[in-house]
Chain A
C-alpha cells in the first residue's frame, strides 16, 4: 500500500503559491521515486518537482498554468489497482505553522517590568484648562500624594518647569522652605489673592468629573425619593457593646448601614440594578460605594462583594478605604464598579437629605444623623434614638412599592441589629 499524495512544495518561507507549468508524466505512467514529475514556477525560479514515492501516476489534479497554494494536492501516485478515493478531493494540507509566536503565551523577556503607581484620584485623565502642565515627574508625584493642585503653581525650574522645591514651598504655606544651597535664587510659590471681589477657582479634575456626572444624573434619571425613620436604640446599644470588645475594628453607624444594605439588597435584588437601555441589569453581587468627603470634593471608593462579608470585615475595609481616599492612595479599580451607594452626612448633623444617584446605579441611600428625640411608645413619651434614611430611586428601574419594600427590610435589619451579626 503506497499512496503518495504529491503536493505543491514550500520552497521558501515567503512562498505561498506556485504555478504548475508542465507535467512531464501523464496519468497511467510509471513513476520511480526521484524522477521528475513536473515543472513548477515559484517566486524565485522554475524548479523541477521530483516524486517522493514510486508507483503509477494515477491522477493529475491540476492542469498546466494553474496557481496552486503551497501544500495543496496536485497529483496522486499509487499502485495500479489501489483505491485512491481517500487521497482525492481532500482539501489542501494545513499550511505549516508560521514562525509567529502564539498569542496568549506569556513570555517575559525583561526580568523586571516597570512598576506602575496607579493614579489615586482622577478616574479619567483630563487636560487642565490652562493647557499642559510643565512639571518634573517628581513634582507631579509629590503634588498628587499631598493633594496639591499643581496647576495653581508657578514653576521655578528651567522654562517655568514646576519642580520639587515648588511643591515643598507651597506646602510650607509661604514660609521660606528649608535651605537647600543652590546657585539660583528661589522664586516664591503662587501667593493667595487679596483684594478682588470674585475669586475665580479653576476646576480641578475631580470637580469637573463631579459636575459632569451629577448634572447628567439629574438630567437623565427620573429620581423619586422615599424616606423612613429608623428606631436606632438597639443598633446604638449593639454598636457600643461591639466597640468595647478588644481587638476588633471599631464599628460606626455607617458600617451598620452598609451591612444592613448589603443584606437588604441581597433580599431585594431588583434594587441592586441598573438601567441598560433595552434591559435592566440585575447585579448578583453587591458592591457598595461609600461616599467620602474630601477637602475639595467627594470620592466614592467601592467595597466589593459585601454580600459575602461580615460586619467586622466591612468595618475594617471601609475604614481602610476611607483613609486611603483621604490620602489619595486609592487604586483605579477601587473607585469603580459600585452597584449601590451609601452616603452619610450624619456626622455633619444633617438630619435628612436627598442624594443624587451615581449612574449607572439604580439607587442611592442618604443617611442622616442619629438624633435623640422624644418618641411615642406604648402610649408614653420617652427618649429614643431616631435616624432618617432617604432612598433616591431611578424610576426606570425601581417603582415606589419596590423601593418601599426594600426600605422595610433595611429598617427591620437596623431595628433588630442582631440580624446583622447572624447573617453573613
Chain B
C-alpha cells in the first residue's frame, strides 16, 4: 500500500498499462514534451518514446477521430482532453462514431478507446472551463462513463477502462489531482467498471456523491455525526453502467436519499439516480428524494458568485436535515 496523489495514481496506471500492452498509446495536446497540462503524463515520453506518446495539434475532433480509427483496426488509444470542456468539439466523433460503430456494424468493429481528462469546476476558471460533462455522455448508449473519486479509484478504474473493449469516458477532476490516498501497489490491482462503493457506512440517510462532491459529503457527514445523525455515502464511481444493487441496498437500509452533484442540476446525474430509486425502492422511501446540485447558471468568474454556484457543506447539511424531518 502506498500513499500517493491522484495524479501519480493516474500516471502509474498509464505506465503500467502501456508496459503490459504495447497496443496502448496516449494521444492529446501537450501530453508528451510538456508532460501533460496537468502533469498527469509526466515522464511517459521519456519512457515510451514519441511513437506511443503523441503530441497533437489543437484539433479535438481530428485527434479523437484518429483514436477511433486506430481502435477500429486493433490498437487501444487513450485520448487526453486537456479539459472535458474541449471535448465538446469532439462530440460528433464520440457520440456519432465511437459510441455507435460497434452497433451499426452489427458487432464487427469494437472501439476500445479511453477519452480521459479533468472535468467539472476548479477555481475561477469561468463559464467555458468549468462544466461537468458527465450527463452529456451518460445519455448515449454505447459509452461507459467513469468519474473516479480517490487516488485508488483513479488507478484501479483507469486500468480497467484501458482494458475495456468499449469507449470509456473517464472524467477526472483538476482539484483532485493533488489529493493523496492509499493505493495498492500490485500491478494487477484494478477496480471493475460498474461497481459502486459504500465509502462511509451509516443508518439514517444515503448520500450519493462522486468525485469532488464525495469530499463535501464527507465533511457534512462528520459534522452531523456529532449530533447523532448517521450518514451513509455511496459513491457510484461508474456512472454508466450504474451499479443499481449497491445504491438500492443502501436506500432500503436508510430509507432516505440525498443526491449530490456539482454540475447544474437540470437533467443532471441526480435526475437519473432519482428515477432509479423512485422506480425500484419506492416502498422503502420515508421521505422524498432530494438533490443538491450546482445552480442552473453558467459558472461566473467572481469568487463569491462561484461559491454560490457550487454546492456547499451547509446546503448538504440542511438537505439532510430536511429529509430527516
A and B touch in the complex (CB under 8 A): yes
CB of A141, distance to nearest CB on chain B (Å):
4
Q: Is B106 an interface residue (CB 8 A)?
A: no
Does A178 sit at the interface, judged by CB under 8 A? Answer: no
Complex contact A137–B285 (CB within 8 A):
yes
Q: Is the interface of A mostly helix, strand, loop or mixed?
A: loop
CB pair B286 A163 closer than 8 Å: yes
Residues of B within 8 Å of A182, CB to CB, are 324
B228, B255, B283, B285 pick with most chain A CB within 10 angstroms = B283
User: How many residues on the B side are at the interface (Cβ–Cβ under 8 A)?
Assistant: 17
Known contacts A139-B286, A157-B286, A181-B227; can you find 8 more A-B pairs with CB under 8 A?
A112-B244, A114-B280, A136-B285, A136-B287, A137-B283, A138-B285, A164-B255, A181-B228
State in angstroms the CA–CA spacing of A136 and B286 once bound together: 5
In angstroms, Cα B280 to Cα A140, docked, is 16
- Is residue B47 contacting chain A, with contact meaning CB distance below 8 A? no
* Residue B282 lies at the interface, judged by CB distance under 8 Å to chain A: yes
Task: Among B279, B280, B283, point to the contact of A138 (Cβ < 8 A).
Answer: B283
Among B229, B244, B284, B325, the one with the most A-chain Cβ atoms within 10 Å of its Cβ is B325
Could you write out 10 A-B pairs with CB less than 8 Å apart?
A: A136-B286, A137-B282, A140-B283, A141-B284, A157-B287, A157-B325, A164-B255, A181-B229, A183-B227, A183-B324
In the complex, which residues of chain A have a beta carbon less than 8 angstroms from the beta carbon of B229?
A: 181
Does B321 belong to the interface (CB within 8 Å)? yes
> Interface residue tally of chain A, by bracket?
10 to 19
Q: Encode contact with B along A131-161: 1 for CB under 8 Å, 0 otherwise.
A: 0000011111100000000000000011000
CA distance A256 to B75 in the complex (A): 75
Q: For B283, list chain A residues within 8 Å (CB).
A: 117, 137-138, 140-141
A381 beta carbon closer than 8 Å to chain B: no
B residues in contact (CB < 8 Å) with A? 227-229, 244, 255, 279-280, 282-287, 321-322, 324-325
Interchain nearest-CB distance for B286 vs A (Å): 4
Contact A164 B286 (CB under 8 A): yes
* Contact between A163 and B287, CB atoms less than 8 A apart: yes
A138, B227: Cα distance in complex, Å: 24
- Which residue of the partner chain A has the closest CB to B230? A181
Q: Scoring A residues 97 to 138 as 1 if CB is less than 8 Å from chain B, else 0, what string do you get?
A: 000000000000000101101000000000000000000111
From 167 to 184 in chain A, residues with beta carbon under 8 angstroms from any chain B beta carbon are 181-184
Contacting B325 at CB < 8 Å: which of A114, A138, A181, A184?
Answer: A184
Chain A residue, CB-CB nearest to B321: A183
Chain A residues within 8 Å of B321, by CB: 183
- Nearest-Cβ distance from residue B262 to partner chain A, whole angstroms: 27
**Hey, which chain B residues are within 8 Å of A183, CB to CB?**
227, 321, 324
Q: Which residues of A contact B244 (CB under 8 A)?
A: 112
Q: Which residues of B contact A137 (CB under 8 A)?
A: 282-286
| Top 9 A-B residue pairs of the complex, sorted by shortest distance between their CB atoms | A181-B228, A141-B283, A138-B286, A136-B286, A114-B279, A137-B283, A164-B286, A137-B282, A137-B285
Are A112 and B286 in contact (CB-based, < 8 A)? no
